[in-house]
């Protein structure tokens, strides 16, 4: 481990506490000069580190994304073997697909500050500002034998997002079937799950779960046509958690909930049950009352003609909710 990385790990473990240069030198068996140089290098990379005579150094969790901090916060609470960070990329979903070209034996998380291309369900694009106000990430994971549908990963990821946000902020979230997270009636997060299949064997070799989350975009920054539809977790106040903390908590919840009844959590946060919904199938418009979500992610709708219809998440999107 490089000197800089060793010192950063020490800082993260004792964030917001003063630690002397002598203590760092002794614990890491390094010279004071090496400590000083590494600290200045970390500062030049954008890390906020106070230096106070007779007290030492104090590290603050940065607002900028940090591969090292995410890895530290994840600890042993996930199966993520490594975190890939890119300042700018076309899409973290595409990055994960490129990684999937080679066999993987561990889960990989791809995180980026900014994406030049965005894509949700059915190829729809979404608004991403070129700033430190957004979370773009994709998890490349091996298929889980207990899941029979890709949509189950979306349910799990949605449950993980709402649980993580509520744990760290106590802000109540809701879910719109099947992949959107809402706050006070406005969308703040979208989830896209995709399967990578081996052409020869026709077997699923890996799953990619992409999450785009509006973290602290000011409401007035959204395009006018989106301001009534979209918002951020922190749209009108200074965030009291960092994106690094939220990213790590989402994936810790993801792996923790995997062995629990995460569909129950999804259902508890859904705001479509009991409401009138409209959708189009085969160029025909249908309407009815949304009643339930199945364990595989299908939406049960009681139609106006008295029949029941199952909506498959990969094929149909709700056009209206009353």
pTM listed for this prediction = 0.89
The domain ranges of the chain are 3-60, 67-269, 276-321
| Per-residue pLDDT at 94 exceeds 80 | yes
The pLDDT value recorded for residue 280 is 84
Q: Note the pLDDT of residue 138.
A: 97
Topology of domain 3-60, CATH: Arc Repressor Mutant, subunit A (1.10.10)
102: Cβ contacts below 8 Å, ≥ 6 apart: none
> Architecture of domain 276-321 in CATH?
Roll (2.30)
The tens digit of pLDDT for each residue in 215-237 reads 999 999 888 888 899 999 999 89
Is the four-CA dihedral 47, 15, 158, 197 of positive or negative sign?
positive
228: tokens are 């009534």
Fold type of domain 67-269: BirA Bifunctional Protein; domain 2 (3.30.930)
Structure tokens at 219: 């409401």
Beta-bridge partners for 308: 302
Q: How confident is the model at residue 122 (pLDDT cuts 50, 70, 90)?
A: very low
Res. 67 pLDDT band, cuts 50 70 90: very high
| pLDDT for res 131 | 61
Q: How far apart are CA 11 and CA 24, in angstroms?
A: 9
The pLDDT assigned to 13 comes to 86
- Assess contact for 236 and 179: CB atoms under 8 A: no
> Residue 315: which pLDDT band, with cuts at 50, 70 and 90?
low
Angstrom CA distances, 61 to 91, 177, 309, stand at 26, 34, 49
pLDDT level of residue 130 (50, 70, 90 thresholds): low
Digit-coded pLDDT (tens) for 39-48? 999 998 888 8
* Among candidate residues 317, 320, 313, the one with its CA nearest the CA of residue 298: 313
């Amino acid at each position: 481990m490089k000197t800089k990385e060793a010192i950063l790990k020490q800082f993260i473990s004792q964030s917001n506490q003063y630690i002397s240069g002598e203590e760092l030198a002794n614990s890491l068996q390094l010279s004071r000069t090496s400590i000083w140089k590494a600290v200045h290098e970390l500062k030049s990379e954008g890390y906020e580190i106070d230096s106070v005579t007779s007290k030492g150094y104090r590290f603050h969790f940065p607002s900028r994304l940090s591969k090292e901090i995410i890895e530290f916060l994840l600890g042993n609470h996930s199966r993520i073997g490594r975190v890939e960070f890119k300042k700018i990329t076309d899409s973290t979903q595409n990055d994960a697909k490129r990684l999937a070209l080679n066999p993987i034996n561990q889960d990989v998380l791809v995180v980026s500050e900014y994406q030049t291309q965005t894509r949700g369900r059915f190829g729809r694009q979404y608004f991403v500002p070129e700033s430190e106000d957004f979370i773009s990430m994709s998890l490349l994971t091996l298929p889980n034998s207990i899941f029979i549908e890709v949509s189950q990963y979306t349910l799990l990821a949605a449950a993980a997002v709402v649980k993580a946000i509520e744990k760290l902020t106590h802000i109540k979230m809701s879910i719109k079937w099947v992949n959107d997270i809402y706050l006070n009636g406005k969308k703040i997060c979208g989830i896209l799950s995709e399967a990578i299949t081996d052409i020869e064997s026709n077997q699923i070799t890996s799953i990619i779960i992409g999450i785009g989350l509006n973290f602290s975009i000011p409401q007035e920054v959204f395009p006018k046509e989106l301001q009534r539809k979209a918002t951020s977790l922190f749209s009108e106040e200074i965030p009291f958690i960092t994106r690094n903390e939220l990213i790590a908590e989402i994936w810790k919840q993801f792996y923790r909930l995997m062995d629990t009844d995460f569909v129950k959590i999804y259902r508890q946060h859904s705001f479509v049950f009991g409401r009138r919904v409209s959708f189009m199938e085969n160029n025909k418009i249908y309407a009815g009352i949304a009643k339930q979500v199945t364990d595989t992610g299908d939406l049960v709708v009681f139609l106006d003609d008295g029949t029941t219809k199952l909506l498959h998440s990969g094929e149909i999107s709700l056009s209206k909710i009353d």
